[in-house]
Each structure stands twice: as C-alpha cells, then as structure tokens.
Structure 1
Amino acid sequence: MQGTESDLGLFGPDSVSWRVHREPVLWLAGIRALYLQALHPRAVAGVVQNSDFRRDCWARLMRTAEYVGTVVYGTTDDAEAAGRRVRAVHDRLRGVDPFTGERFRVDDPELLRWVHVTEVESFVTTARRAGLALTDDETDAYYTEQVRAAALVGLDPSTVPAATSEVHDYYERMRPELTLTAEGRDVARFLAAPPMPRALAWTVGRPAWLSVSGVAFALLPRWARRLYRMPGLPTTDVAASLASHALRDVVRVLPVRDGPIYHDAMRRAEAVRSGQKAADR
C-alpha cells in the first residue's frame, strides 16, 4: 500500500486526538477558545485590525473548523499544506498594540502560542466536561500530540506546553498580561449575539445561539470569567458541566453528518487495517 492510502496523517486512529475531535460538542469548545483569546490585548487586536469578523463570521468559523479537521484527520501532506497556507497569511499581517501603539507581527510566537494553547485546552477540557471519558494520562497525551499541530503554524515545538501541568503553568505565566480591552469587549459581545440568517434570527437561531454561547462562556476558567467582570463561582462550573453534558447528549442524536475529511480518514484507516490483516494471514 503506497501513497495517501496508507497515510493516516499526523495522529492516526489510535491517537487521543482522533477521539477528542470526533466529539460534535467541540463547536462549544471553539467558542470558549475565542472568549479566552479575546483576553490577550495583542491577539484580539490582530484579529479586529485585520479582518471584518462581523461580516464574515460564519465563513470564518467554517474555515477554522475545516482547518482543524484537516490537521487532525487529513493526510500528512494535506495537514502540512494547510499549515503553509496559514503561515503565508499570517506572514503579511501586522497589528498595533492598543496600549503602546507599537506595531507587531500577527505571527509573533507569543501570539501563536496563546492561540494554540487556548484552542487545544478548550477542546480537551470541553470534551471531558461534556462527558468524554479521558484519563489524566490520555489528556497529557492529547497535549503532546497537538504539539505537532503547533509546529504547523510556525511554533518551535520545544516552546509549546505538552502536558496538563505545563498548560496550567503557562496560563499562570500569562495571566498578568491578560485584560479586557475595548476590542476584546466588542468581540465578546459579538460572540454572544452574532448576526443570524433573517429567517432564523428570532425563531430558532438566536435563542439557540444564546444558550450555546452562554454555556461556552460558563466553561471558562474562573479567572477568565472574572476578567470579563462576571462571577467566578464554583456553582457556575457545576452548572456549565451539566449543561455541556446535556448538550453533548442532544447533539449526538441529531442527524448531523460527518464531513468528507473525517470520512476519508475512516476509509484510509480501514484500508490500512485490511492490509494488515491480509499481511498477517
């Protein structure tokens, strides 16, 4: 078996990454990550100053979901090509610091690292709180696997947190640099109530989104909710876990189809298994 038929990508079917990203509730994690990212003044400034996120928010979310799906389930060539495209876009983008007025590169390693860590931590934390059974060792393995994804966007793997304790320490180091700027507040308000197709706005779409974004916000660490001037109560954590668990149960029974990237990964994995069985006979 040659070429892409035997290429199971960066992670493969035995990885924790394939298990975590199979969860449909990760849309909730994506919103949680955006709330976290908006607390970094330069990270949110880079987004606001370089994109019209209010106009193309749904297309942007779909592109991000497709990128993550390609990195996790695509072939190695597909994942590396997606990384090159992201690096090419970031290479030409600049921002202005909202406090100092200093110009900065959007692909500054500090900013790339913040985006990466908030994404992967949101993915695995949301999946676990929604009911995915992962041990602490498996969670550590997920972070270690995802270092490969960080390298795709240009990060030095040795600088990327690769275990739960390292992610915790990273957040502790970053917290003094985090604050809610005017741009961050605008992004948070937008996440709570983005534009909806007119036919859905005040029927299904708006109420459903308000519920989802509310749960995503409640899943934030207490320190992050406090930066948003919202309660950091233990009862909020319990309620958020219960709500995310219920949402996972609902989404799992909906007739939601897996995308072509996932189906192609399953086809390649089955082809490899069949080839191995034939070789063993």
Structure 2
Amino acid sequence: MSAAPSNGADLGLVGPNSVTWQLHADPAMWLGGITSLFLQSLHPLAAAGVVQNSNFREDPLGRLMRTAKFVSMSTYAALDEVQTGAAKVRAVHRSLRGKDPDTGRAFRIDRPDLLLWVHCAEVSMFLSVVRRAGFRLTKAQADRYFDEQRQSAALVGLDPDEVPGSTTQMSAYLRDMRGELRRGEDSEIVYQFLHKPPLPGVLGLGLPIYEPTVAHLAYSLLPRWAIQLHGHRAYPPAAATAMLRTIRSAALLVPSPVRWRAPHGYVPRAMRRLGPSVRPSPKLLPVD
C-alpha cells in the first residue's frame, strides 16, 4: 500500500511513502526522544554544550519540545517551511560555543563530529525505542529509515554521505564512539535533570509519577553499554520492555487526531495539505 496524494502539494523532505513518516507518528517517539538525551549526554562535549548554553533549568520542557518540533516539522511540513526552520537552527548552532571540561578550550557547538553524534544518538534511539515498543520493521525498512534520516542530518549542516545510512553502519559508528563516551559531571547534571526537572506549579505535582514511569523508563531503554557508562541502576530489560509496551498501548487508545495535535500539529497539517490518504500507518510502510 502507498499514499498517493493527488493534489500536487509539496510532499516535504521524506514524503508519506517513507518509513520516517509512519514511525515518527508513533507515541513511543516521546520516550525515544528522552532516551536519546540520556545517550547524547555521555559525550563530554555534547553534554558540556547543553549545560553551558541551555536554559533548561529555567525552561525544563523547552529542549525536549524544541527537539520534538524540529523532528515533526522536518518529517511532515512542506519543504519551504523545513528549509526555513533548519536555517534558523543552523544559525543558532553557529552562534554557540562551549568550554571543554578537560582542557578549558573553547569549541564550536556546530562542529561536524558533535552534530554527527547528536544526530546518530537521536535517530538510533528513535528507532530502537519505537521498535522495542512493538512497531514492527524489517531490517530493510530499518535500513531505509537511517538512509532517509541522512536528509534530516543535512538540514543541520552535515554531509549526508558521511552519516550512517543503514543499521550496520549505525552499529559500527556507535561501537567506534564508545571510547569517547563517559560519565562526567555534565552527564550527571543531565541525568538528574531529566529525572527531576523543576516543573512549575501544578506540573510539579506529577513528578512522583513522571520520574518512575517516564524518566527512569526512558533511561532504562538505553543500550546496556550506555547504562553501564552512566552507572545508574536501570529497570531489568524485560520489565522496561513491558512498561514501554503498556504505555504505548494506552497511548494508542487516544484517538490519533487528538494525539497528533500535540504539541505542534504537523501531522494534521500534512493531512490537510496532502489529503487523507497520507494518514501515518504501519500499513503504509514501504515494502522491502
């Protein structure tokens, strides 16, 4: 089955016949996004860049929401909006500097090696968590997802040819990166923050539920080697998978038009632009 918009509208960056279009609409993506932040923080410079430049203490939901907006926009928005949004992101990255916690030297946030790490940590955890939640993909479809995501990597300034474009290449990249990753003061700040963000007002009342069912679950969905580097105890793998699938099943009971309105409504806007046939669904996954 394929989506076949008939109105000639802009299909966007990857289009409705992509793996990305179907996978990024899954509710497990929210947990995958948090898991990716835990993984990203194991890189000393990536963690330093966040801690030194982000106002996450004053705006605890801001980074996650901005990331979610960029991912959703780059997947479902018209190409001109994608390009405009990406240019703004690149401009912000160009303006930021960090200080190496080991040497004290300044570094650019938009260094290609750092951008590549953030991209790979992000998309690898998206795929890992959503598949673990029960979204079925063949290896060929998983390979195609990483290949499609080279286009999103180009949006932040990376050369697509230098970005892992298959499961084999991504596994090799992550394996090669392990020697550069470690627990440090900044990764610990991120770990503690993601578990106990200083949510204001009534939102703070939900922390006793959020911490074990969202934050620590997301941490527990990391690869075992990443959990070992962080050094904090995680839920047993079988328990984490069961929790993830229960939460996803509950989320899928919410009508998709309601789920897809939050937080930025890019999926409904894409359906209005292209027609109802592009509604994200595993049934639209490209055949191997």
Asked if Structure 1 and Structure 2 have the same fold, meaning a TM-score greater than 0.5 normalized by the shorter chain, the answer is yes
Query: Could you tell me which residue of structure 2 aligns to residue 250 of structure 1?
Result: 250
| Partner deviation per Cα, 1:160-219 (whole Å, 9 max, x = no partner) | 0000111110011100000111011011001011122322423x4431343111111111
2:3 corresponding residue in structure 1: none
Structure 1 residue corresponding to 2:270, chosen from 265, 270, 276:
265
Q: Is the 8 A contact 2:217 2:240 kept in 1?
A: yes
SS of 2:107's equivalent?
strand
Contact 2:56 2:62 in 1 (8 A): no
**8 A contact 1:9–1:72 mirrored in 2:** yes
1:257 positional shift? 3.4
Task: Tell me the CA shift for residue 237 of structure 1.
Answer: 2.1
Q: Which amino acid aligns with 2:138?
A: T
Question: For the residues of structure 2 that align with 1:88 and 1:272, how far apart are their CA atoms?
Answer: 36
- Please show how residues 44-55 of structure 1 align to structure 2 within 5 Å: 44-55=47-58
Q: Which has the higher helix share?
A: 1
Matches within 5 A, 1:124-203: 124-202=127-205
Match of 1:68 among 71, 76, 79: 71
- Which one-letter code corresponds to 2:66 in the other structure? R
| Alignment partners' CA distance in 1, 2:96 and 2:203 | 35
Query: Which SS does the other structure have where 1:6 is aligned?
Result: coil
TM-score normalised over the length of structure 1: 0.90
| Corresponding residue for residue 98 of structure 2 | 95
- For residues 95 and 120 of structure 2, the distance between their equivalents in structure 1, rounded to whole angstroms, comes to 23
Q: C-alpha distance in 1, partners of 2:65/2:231?
A: 30
What one-letter code is carried by the residue in structure 1 that aligns with 2:13? L
In 2, Cα distance between the equivalents of 1:261 and 1:196? 26
Letter in 1 for 2:237: D
Match runs of 1:221-236 below 5 Å: 221-231=223-233, 236=236
Question: Which position in structure 2 is the counterpart of 1:22?
Answer: 25
C-alpha deviations, 1:262-281, integer Å up to 9, x for none?
Answer: 111112222898xxxxxxxx
Q: Which residue of 2 aligns with 1:276?
A: none
Q: Which runs of 5+ in 2 are unaligned?
A: 1-6, 279-288
Q: Which runs of 5+ in 1 are unaligned?
A: 274-281
* Contact 1:200/1:206, CA 8 A, preserved across alignment: no
Once the two structures are overlaid, the 10-residue window that deviates more, 193-202 or 69-78, is: 193-202
- Structure scoring higher RCO (CA < 8 A, sep ≥ 6) equals 2
Quote the sequence identity (%). Answer: 44
Distance 2:266 2:42 in 1: 32
1:83 equivalent to 2:86? Answer: yes
- Alpha carbons 2:34, 2:64 under 8 Å: kept: no
Question: Matched residues in 1 for 2:61 and 2:187: separation?
Answer: 19
| One-letter amino acid of the structure 2 residue matched with residue 243 of structure 1 | M
The C-alpha deviation readout for 1:99-120, integer Å capped at 9, x for no partner, is 1112110000011001100111
State the alpha-carbon separation in 2 of the partners of residues 245 and 271 from structure 1. Answer: 28
Q: CA deviation at 1:240?
A: 1.6
In 2: Cα distance, 1:206 partner to 1:188 partner:
16
* Alignment deviations for residues 237-274 of structure 1 (CA, whole Å, 9 cap, x no partner): 2222221111100111135431331111112222898x
Consecutive aligned runs of 4 or more in structure 1 exceeding 4 Å deviation: none
How many Å separate the matches in 1 of 2:276 and 2:182? 49
